[in-house]
Amino acid sequence: MTLYEQLLSAFQLHLKSRTQKHHMYPDRFAVPNDKVSWDIEFPDYSPIAYNAPIVLDKNTPWADPQQISDTIQPFKSFMGAVPLNSKGVPLNPIGRTGICGRGILGKWGANFAVDAIITTLNSKDELLLLAISRKDTGEIAFPGGMVDPGEAPLITRNRELSEELSLSATDLAHPLYENTVSQGYVDDPRNTDNAWLETTAIHTHLAFDVTQKMVLKAGDDAADYAWVKISKESVGRLYASHGLVLMEALKKMEYSRPGSISQIIAAFQ
């Protein structure tokens, strides 16, 4: 099985949403692989209810009301129509997670984010990814963050790069390649049965000399940053389902720019 196939299999079972411990969450109710889908009967399923205090605080501007009837509906999702339970509460489109409620996510249903995939090819023909170290899990990840109401994805991308890395839009003004890779579900350890992450991933490939002139500084949710050499090992340990999204981004870039990174992509097959 190739690395891509392994990452895709894990994503389809949303393994990190079910099994990765988040420091703010209680232990999850165990969900076997064959009981993930809502279509499968699981009469013993008893998920732990958890809503972080900040989510329940009426003064938190980014959080929905706790009463589902007070939430703006219908629920939106890149995944299509959102299934609801008998009480009108949205259900995770991939399946059970072992925790119900919203966890530390503000919105019932999909919580929309944008992820910035920034790559470059250095003087040694090594493909590098600009990654942050997350403060909450310590894992390496794409820089990115939550979409503000009415905000276009590219505006979110630019704002989050400024907040997390002091990177300006000018630094990204002349990419060699740029593409919106995907819009969809993220296998994130913060996900619950009723609230989950969905993202727009934007891939920007820059000339190496442009990246050398960047003045970066970690801030906001980033404990640190680094240009990480893309390899089987580094892709496999990326946060959430970022490894799968990165693989998809590289495949699309290879298709759009034949020969540019073919040998590097071949290493993942």
Question: What would the pLDDT profile of 154-193 be if each residue is shown by its tens digit?
Answer: 999 999 999 989 888 888 989 999 999 999 999 999 999 9
pLDDT tens for each residue of 26-80: 999 999 999 999 999 999 999 999 999 999 999 999 999 999 988 888 899 999 9
Predicted pLDDT of residue 260: 60
pLDDT score at 217: 84
Residue 234 · residue 140 · CB < 8 Å: yes
pLDDT at 125: 85
- In this structure, of 91-95, 113-117, 207-211, 219-223, the range with the lowest mean pLDDT score is 219-223
Q: Where are the domains of the chain?
A: 110-266
The pLDDT assigned to 34 comes to 97
Query: pTM score, two decimals?
Result: 0.93
Is the predicted pLDDT of residue 266 greater than 80, yes or no? no
Residue 239: pLDDT band (50, 70, 90) is very high
- The pLDDT value recorded for residue 268 is 60
- Tell me the CATH number for domain 110-266: 3.90.79.10
Model confidence at 105, pLDDT cuts 50, 70, 90, reads: very high
Alpha-carbon span 133 to 128, nearest angstrom: 15
pLDDT of residue 220: 67
> What mean pLDDT comes out for the span 202-219?
90
Residue type, 242: H
Please give the mean pLDDT across all residues of the chain: 91
How many angstroms from the chain centroid is the CA of residue 177? 21
pLDDT of 269 above 60: no
Across residues 206-226, what is the average pLDDT? Answer: 86
Q: What is the pLDDT of residue 168?
A: 87
The pLDDT value given to residue 55? 97
User: Across residues 14-23, what is the average pLDDT?
Assistant: 94
pLDDT, average across residues 96-112:
97
